[in-house]
A and B are shown apart, each in its own frame.
Chain A
Amino acid sequence: MSEKWQYLIVLGLCLAVTAPLEFFGPGVYRQPRRLVRAVLPVAAAFLVWDTVAIRAGVWTYNDAYITAVHLPFRVPIEEALFFVVIPLCALLTYNAVTAILDRSRRR
């Protein structure tokens, strides 16, 4: 398999590892409206930052490890997914920690 999938595989692993956290409390995937409203505005802001940084040459991506599917302005598709996947992982963590703390407080 090509090394080009590396970045996507890393993101996939992040989703796989955090997926079971959905079983705690009210969950994150089960609140799709709240999820979209929390993730989308921040993802949009960071995507703009990313675009500017790529254009200004602050950072670039190694073509060996990305799929070569790009959004406009040469932003790799992996970057757009990063801004969804990482917040999802954080929300799932926060959801689980909150549920566990609530449970221990009720005891």
Chain B
Amino acid sequence: MSGLGYTVPAVAAVLAVFALEFGLWHTGLFRRLAYWLSMVIVLGFQIPVDGWLTKRSAPIVIYNEHQTSGLRFPLDIPVEDFLYGFALVTAVLLLWERQQARWLAGNKHG
């Protein structure tokens, strides 16, 4: 562990997603039960899929351990992957919701 070239950007990505929602977009996604339930389901599927991609016995993705926290759990998944996945999925859902909000607003004016 030295560079944290994965850990730092992974944390930054999560913070960026929060900044977009609370500073800019205000979609209300984080107040929706459907969002949190979906995230639990996504997490449930991330573990086997990501576990397969990162298993140390036959990895598809190979991490430079100097660039991560070194924590790999569950299975051999680097914990950073969960921040990465959270940021990826949440950003897409935010943009998805944002268009719905815009469409509704447009209709009100029209």
Give the interface of A toward B (CB within 8 A).
6-7, 10, 14, 17, 34-35, 37-39, 41-42, 45-46, 49, 53, 56-62, 64-66, 83, 86-87, 89-91, 93-94, 97-98, 101
Query: Which residue on B lies nearest to A96, using beta carbons?
Result: B38
Contact of A91 among B45, B58, B61, B93 (CB under 8 A): B93
CB distance from B107 to the nearest CB of A (A): 15
CB distance from B95 to the nearest CB of A (A): 4
The contact size tier of chain B is: 35 or more
Residues on A with C-beta less than 8 A from B49 are 10, 14
**A42 adjacent to B88 (CB under 8 Å):** yes
CB distance from A61 to the nearest CB of B (A): 6
**A59 adjacent to B61 (CB under 8 Å):** yes
**A61 adjacent to B42 (CB under 8 Å):** no
Residues on B with C-beta less than 8 A from A87 are 88-89, 92
**A61 adjacent to B35 (CB under 8 Å):** no
Chain B interface, >50% SS class: helix
**B92 adjacent to A34 (CB under 8 Å):** no
Per-residue A-contact encoding for B53-75, CB less than 8 Å = 1, 0 else: 10000111111100100000000
Contact of A94 among B34, B52, B63 (CB under 8 A): B34
**B89 adjacent to A62 (CB under 8 Å):** no
In Å, the complex CA distance between A24 and B107 comes to: 24
Contact of A56 among B5, B42, B85 (CB under 8 A): B5
- B60-110 interface with A by 8 A CB criterion: 60-64, 67, 85, 88-89, 91-93, 95-96, 99-100
If A87-B92, A89-B45 touch, does A66 touch B34 (CB 8 Å cutoff)? Answer: no
Contact of A41 among B53, B58, B95, B100 (CB under 8 A): B95
Contact of B95 among A37, A97, A101 (CB under 8 A): A37
Q: B9 on the interface (CB 8 Å rule)?
A: yes
Contact of A61 among B38, B61, B67 (CB under 8 A): B61
